[in-house]
Chains A and B, each alone.
Chain A
Amino acid sequence: SAVISQKPSRDICQRGTSLTIQCQVDSQVTMMFWYRQQPGQSLTLIATANQGSEATYESGFVIDKFPISRPNLTFSTLTVSNMSPEDSSIYLCSVAGDLTEAFFGQGTRLTVV
């Protein structure tokens, strides 16, 4: 199984600012994903992070609000831009690959005030 490290684990941010969340994996993985989990809710996919190219966003999520980078097969970042209180959620990095099921990081708990 892959070990996934997310930073920061939690943060409290002022509205209008941006936060970049990092996801580091201990081995090369084919697929990396970013999910959002709003308070008391299930997980919703934000986008698939593609190595060396633009991320693939799901309906309702746009690059200007959630820019994503994936410079290599072990690292990705998600930025939550121009934050509002509605962005308060848990943001989760997930990885998957051949012969392995999807694993999740511990998540970043974001509170926007």
Chain B
Amino acid sequence: GESVGLHLPTLSVQEGDNSIINCAYSNSASDYFIWYKQESGKGPQFIIDIRSNMDKRQGQRVTVLLNKTVKHLSLQIAATQPGDSAVYFCAESLHGGYNKLIFGAGTRLAVHP
């Protein structure tokens, strides 16, 4: 069967380390951003979101940073676990969360024990 993220860049980390996944978004007018996690054979799963009036937001073990000056988004995962292995996508939107999303290319995170 096909593999999600087969041709995507890969970030390899050791279990317990912190991971940082980066994303450059395209539209300076975008005002809402989401990080998704996609495991093989599944649909994208919401991780965390951030609006353009913020530059940082924290969740459980995850932090999203937004730099509007350079149109850059990052996802930090603390104490990475094997269950974090997946493909991670950033997405941007205009007019809040209930509009169409434009997805970034994606990064595959491989966590090694």
How close is B31's CB to chain A, nearest CB, in angstroms? 14
Is residue A44 within 8 Å, beta carbon to beta carbon, of the partner chain?
A: yes
**Contacts A101-B34, A102-B46: A42 and B89 contacting too (C-beta < 8 A)?**
yes
Q: Of B4, B43, B91, which is in contact with the most chain A CB atoms at under 10 Å from its CB?
A: B43
A13-21, A61-69, A77-85, A90-98 - interface stretch: A90-98
**Contacts A96-B98, A101-B49: A107 and B103 contacting too (C-beta < 8 A)?**
no
How close is B7's CB to chain A, nearest CB, in angstroms? 4
Contacts A30-B98, A31-B99, A42-B104 known; list 20 others, CB within 8 Å: A1-B46, A33-B101, A39-B2, A39-B3, A40-B2, A40-B4, A40-B5, A41-B106, A43-B89, A45-B102, A92-B44, A94-B101, A100-B98, A101-B46, A101-B49, A102-B97, A104-B43, A104-B44, A106-B42, A107-B43
Cβ-closest 10 pairs across A and B: A40-B6, A104-B43, A40-B7, A96-B98, A43-B103, A42-B103, A39-B2, A104-B44, A106-B43, A107-B43
Residues of A within 8 A of B (CB): 1, 4, 30-31, 33, 37, 39-45, 48, 58, 90, 92, 94, 96-98, 100-107, 109
